[in-house]
Amino acid sequence: MAATDDSDFDYPGDLLAGQAELHQIRAELLALLKRLPWSVEPHDAVIDTLGWRKMERAASPGWSEDDQAEVEKLRRRELELAVFVTCHRYWSELKGGDAVRARARLKHVHDEPAHDDLGNGEGPGNDEGPGNDEDPRA
């Protein structure tokens, strides 16, 4: 299949679902890591004023066993999904530049709003645009 346009890629449903879950798992993992202390193990405060820039970190109580288990679970699932997506049989159908474009495009498939085939934004749930002459105050 030679794709002339990024929208010409017909991704299988399981590949789309795998990529969507991978994005979700990565977002959950990032949010969890942002809220956890900087050190997995309990650690004293760190102050370094001798380097090329000053660095300070407050003491870390470390992560709880539950937090460590949750991070491990999310990282394991992230790896499973990354392997599933990158090794999917769909990629064997594409060659050269098409494969590169399709892989890059897949990462952003769920970023774009749905629209109709005409590309004019008219579709289910869109109350704006041509054909909507009703007065909203009526």
In tens, the pLDDT along 10-31 reads 999 999 999 999 999 999 999 9
Residue 80 CA to residue 87 CA, distance in Å, equals 11
Q: Is the pLDDT of residue 78 over 80?
A: yes
Reported as a single tens digit per residue, the pLDDT across 83-112 is: 999 999 999 999 999 999 999 999 998 886
- For residue 94, what are the domain limits? 9-109
Task: Kindly state whether residue 124 falls inside one of the protein's structural domains.
Answer: no
The model's pLDDT over 37-61, given as tens digits with 9 standing for 90+, comes to 999 999 999 999 888 899 999 999 9
Task: Flag whether 75 is in a domain.
Answer: yes
Q: Residues 6 or more apart from 8 whose CB is under 8 A from it?
A: 1
The stretches of the chain forming alpha helices (DSSP H) are 13-35, 65-86, 96-106
SS3 at position 12: coil
Residue 7 scores a pLDDT above 80:
no
- Per-residue model confidence (pLDDT) at position 112: 64
Selection from 124, 129, 104, 103 nearest residue 114 by Cα: 124
Reported confidence tier of residue 123, pLDDT bands at 50, 70, 90: very low
Q: How much of the chain exceeds pLDDT 70, in percent? A: 75
Name the domain count of the chain: 1
Tokens matching residue 15 = 């590949």
pLDDT of residue 116: 46
Residue 131, in any domain of the structure: no
Position 34 in a domain: yes
